[in-house]
Amino acid sequence: MPSPQDYQENTPEALTFKQLQQLQKQVKRPKSRVRASGWVVRRLLRVLTKPFRIIFRPKVIDFGAIATVVPSQTYQLGEFTINWQGADTQKPYLYINHADNPSKIIWHTPAGQNFIAGAKVHLEIIEERGSVEIDENRKSQFPNQTVDRIEEAGDFLVIFGRLQESRSQGESAQYALYFRTSGSKQLDFYLHIIGDDINLAQLRFATSADEHFYGFGEQFSRIDCKGYEVRIVTEEGGIGRGDPAPKP
């Protein structure tokens, strides 16, 4: 993992997408243990204990606070306008418009709450006859966010800040959220968190009442997944189908 000193020295002007991909390769993945078992007794025990594991399993990182010294500013990236409502407001948040309809907000974060969080987790993965069961053991979480500075760097807009652990006097980590246009209709982002063993990231945003979410692979429950937790396990990722490597 890069050190905080490396983080400070790598100015946005020097970072390219290739370098960002190299940084991504250095990120620590969640520690996990994979077990394959066909034993009927183990399967029966998992079925019987599943309700208790669901009750005590944390679904998402807790909502946290947001603090900033950065005043409200507006930034232009291609046809996108990124608006930061900052220290001069009671509830800081970020929202984005597009030139096709400047009065419409196409994406925004919850006002007065964190929109980036992290956690340290350990995963236990059980695979049996093509089915995958994942138990997540969360060791600590970092829900409280600061926005320390926002910088324009060529084609990038970069938001820098820190994440603070939920317990008092806990650890902290630095983060950088990069925005960059990819054509006139697409805005790409990349989130990089630097912190010892932080291997889970969360990006929160608000939705409008008429917005819906479909897809997420083959499902046998519901069509519109808005308001539900949808657990997705990605396998293969296009290997052998023309893509050079799996993609997130």
**Tell me, what's the pLDDT at 7?**
44
**What b/e sequence results for 27-48 when a residue is b if at least 16 CB atoms lie within 10 Å of its CB, and e otherwise?**
eeebeeeeeeeeeeeeeeeeee
Which of the 8 DSSP states describes residue 14?
G
pLDDT at 198 over 60: yes
Instruction: Give the span between the Cα atoms of 207 and 45, in whole angstroms.
Output: 39
CB atoms within 10 A of CB 125: 16
Of 48, 92, 101, the closest CA to residue 72 belongs to: 92
The stretch 10-14 carries a mean pLDDT of 47
In sequence order, the 6+-apart residues with CB closer than 8 A to the CB of 164 are 64, 142, 143, 144, 145, 146, 170, 172
Spatial contact of 132 and 34, defined as CB atoms under 8 Å apart? no
Token representation of residue 183: 């054509």
Sheet of strand 66-68: strand arrangement: 66-68, 144-153, 156-164, 172-181, 187-194
**Tell me, what's the pLDDT at 232?**
73
Alpha helices in the chain (DSSP H): 4-9, 17-26, 40-56
pLDDT, one tens digit per residue, over 91-125 is 999 999 999 999 999 999 999 999 999 998 887 77
pLDDT at 4 over 80: no
Q: Which residues pair with 176 in a beta bridge?
A: 160, 192
**Tell me, what's the pLDDT at 79?**
95
pLDDT at 69 over 70: yes
The stretch 62-81 carries a mean pLDDT of 94
Which phi and psi (to 5°) does residue 144 adopt? -90, 130
Q: What 3-state DSSP class applies to 210?
A: coil
Q: Which amino acid is at 189?
A: F
Range scoring the smallest mean pLDDT among 21-25, 104-108, 144-148: 21-25
CB atoms within 10 A of CB 217: 8
Higher pLDDT, 159 or 247: 159
CB atoms within 10 A of CB 1: 15
pLDDT, one tens digit per residue, over 45-67 is 766 776 666 555 556 788 899 99
Structure confidence at residue 178 as a pLDDT band (50, 70, 90): very high
Token representation of residue 160: 């820098």
Torsion angle of alpha carbons 45, 51, 52, 54, nearest 10°?
120
Of 121, 122, 124, 130, the closest CA to residue 46 belongs to: 124
Average pLDDT, the chain: 79
pLDDT at 126 over 80: no
